[in-house]
Structure 1
Amino acid sequence: MNFLAHIYLSGDSLKIQIGNFIADSIKGKQFESFDDEIQKGIRLHRAIDAYTDQHPIVQQSTERLKETQKRYAPVAVDIFYDHFLAKNWENYHQEPLESFVNNFYENIQQYHDILPSEIQYMLPYMIRQNWLYNYQKMKGIERVFEGMNQRTSFQSNFLQAPQDLLTHYADFEQDFTLFFPELISFSKDFEKEI
């Protein structure tokens, strides 16, 4: 899952949302330097990633991209799934997507000083280009993959990914629709345990 899903799966706690949002930038036990709620978000993020990576439906989505996206297939699937979450947002949340992402953008800036440097650098671009809201549009997805293509140090085929999505659109959407309720249930159960 990518940014939007991780924030959504964090529930209403801003600090858990922040931890879940920054978790990819926190290595090893560095998370122990954060307050308890942010640590919960980091743990939740790691659990979501582990659950997602081993899930047969997600593996099916990933397999569909192996030829074109190779080792980046799981990354592309994460973005595709955020697209379907944004596109079908009203099925998962009562608050409109635009309001939800604007509240997140506003609230996370209060914690700017504790964010990892790479997140501090990225966040203004994310807000200005409204990544989270624009995941619902193909233009937004294209922009995400263009940015990822520029940032990756290894050869990728990210510029092909939007076409891959369109080619298998119904299949990816069906995979997401089947998988996401299971992930919601897993996340809620995990959050109760931490």
Structure 2
Amino acid sequence: MNYLAHLYLSGESEKMLVGNFIGDYVKGRQYKSYPDEIAAGILLHRHIDHFTDIHPLHKEAKVLFREDFGHYAGIVVDFIYDHFLAVNWNNYSDTSLRWFAKRSHSVLLSNFKHLPLRVQGFLPFLIQNRRLESYATIEGIIQSMHIMGKYSSLPSKAPVAESILRANYETLGLNFKTFMQELMHYVTTEFDVTLELPLASGQPTP
């Protein structure tokens, strides 16, 4: 999963949110040097990634992108899942995406000293460009892929990813919906995370 999903799946704990956000940048046993709740968020991030990587629906979605992106297809799907979370945000939260993004920014800035140097470097740009909110549009998520392609080993084929997404939009949307329900159940039952859901039933709307 990408940034928005990891932040959302942190629940109500601010320290868990920090740990979940920086999880990709803390390697091996380095998490032990962080305060306990941030360390728990880092470990939660790893469990979410493992759940995602082995899930049949995530593997199914990767097939669409494998020819063009090879073993980076999973990263593309993670971006696209963030898009579907953002565009359907009202089905997953009783607060607006704008409010959630602002709260997340505030929490991360107030814990700036705990952020790895690489995260400290890109966080101001993520905030300034309202990147989390931009995921709610296809253009926004493709722009994020384009930026990542410039500064990482992700193939610089954002237009290709956009074409595949548009051609398979409904299929990928349904794939995400089912996958996200299962991931939410996993996080809330296995890690005692409390999510702010719009329905008392604890399930997103159809």
TM-score, L = length of structure 2: 0.90
Matched residue SS, 1:10: coil
Check if 1:62 corresponds to 2:62. Answer: yes
Structure 2 Cα separation of the partners of residues 23 and 5 of structure 1:
13
Identity %: 37
Check if 1:79 corresponds to 2:71. Answer: no
Q: Conserved in 2, the CA contact under 8 Å of 1:82 and 1:135?
A: yes
Q: Which moved more, 1:163-172 or 1:17-26?
A: 163-172
Q: How does 1:3-152 map to 2 (within 5 A)?
A: 3-152=3-152
Structure 1 Cα separation of the partners of residues 108 and 56 of structure 2:
34
Q: Once the two structures are superposed, what CA deviation does each residue of 1:97-129 show, in whole Å capped at 9, x if it has no partner?
A: 100101111121011111000000010110011
Structure 2 Cα separation of the partners of residues 160 and 141 of structure 1:
13
Q: Conserved in 1, the CA contact under 8 Å of 2:142 and 2:158?
A: no
Structure 1 unpaired stretches of 5+: none
- Number of the residue aligned with 2:204: none
Check if 1:180 corresponds to 2:180. Answer: yes
Q: How does 1:156-175 map to 2 (within 5 A)?
A: 156-175=156-175
Q: CA deviation at 1:157?
A: 2.8
Structure 1 Cα separation of the partners of residues 4 and 192 of structure 2:
21
Q: CA deviation at 1:36?
A: 0.8
1:2 to 1:95, Cα distance in 2 relative to 1, 3 A: same
Q: CA deviation at 1:153?
A: 3.8
Q: Once the two structures are superposed, what CA deviation does each residue of 1:139-184 show, in whole Å capped at 9, x if it has no partner?
A: 2112101101101246443442122211111111010011101000
Q: Once the two structures are superposed, what CA deviation does each residue of 1:23-52 show, in whole Å capped at 9, x if it has no partner?
A: 000000000000111011011100000011
1:126 to 1:35, Cα distance in 2 relative to 1, 3 A: same
Q: Once the two structures are superposed, what CA deviation does each residue of 1:52-106 show, in whole Å capped at 9, x if it has no partner?
A: 1100011100111111221110000000000000000000100111001011111
Q: Name the one with the larger helix percent.
A: 1
Q: Conserved in 2, the CA contact under 8 Å of 1:76 and 1:161?
A: yes
Between Structure 1 and Structure 2, how many residues are aligned?
193
Structure 1 Cα separation of the partners of residues 122 and 160 of structure 2:
23
Matched residue SS, 1:93: coil
Q: Which amino acid aligns with 2:140?
A: G
Matched residue SS, 1:192: coil
Structure 2 Cα separation of the partners of residues 25 and 42 of structure 1:
9
Q: CA deviation at 1:22?
A: 0.1
Q: Which amino acid aligns with 2:41?
A: G
Matched residue SS, 1:125: helix
Q: Conserved in 2, the CA contact under 8 Å of 1:44 and 1:190?
A: no
Q: Which amino acid aligns with 2:31?
A: F
Q: Which amino acid aligns with 2:185?
A: S
Structure 2 Cα separation of the partners of residues 94 and 49 of structure 1:
25
Q: Which amino acid aligns with 2:97?
A: L
Q: Which amino acid aligns with 1:187?
A: V
Q: Conserved in 2, the CA contact under 8 Å of 1:149 and 1:156?
A: yes
